[in-house]
Amino acid sequence: MSRVLVIDDESIVGTVLRYAFQAEGHQIVVADSGREGIELARSEAPDAIVLDLMMPVVTGHDVIVVLREDDATKNVPILVLTAVTMSREREHCLSEGADMVMTKPFDPREVAQAVDALMAPGESAFAASI
Phi, psi dihedral angles at 47 (to 5 degrees): -85, -20
pTM: 0.90
- Residue 100 and residue 114 in contact, taking contact as beta carbons nearer than 8 Å: yes
Collapse the DSSP code of 30 into the 3-class scheme (helix H, G, I; strand E, B; otherwise coil) and give the result: strand
Residue-range definition of the domain harbouring residue 77: 3-129
CATH number at residue 100: 3.40.50.2300
Per-residue pLDDT of the chain (130 residues; tens, 9 = 90+): 799 999 999 999 999 999 999 988 999 999 999 999 999 999 999 999 999 999 999 999 999 999 999 999 999 999 999 888 788 888 999 999 999 999 988 999 999 999 999 998 654 444 444 4
Give the number of domains in the chain: 1
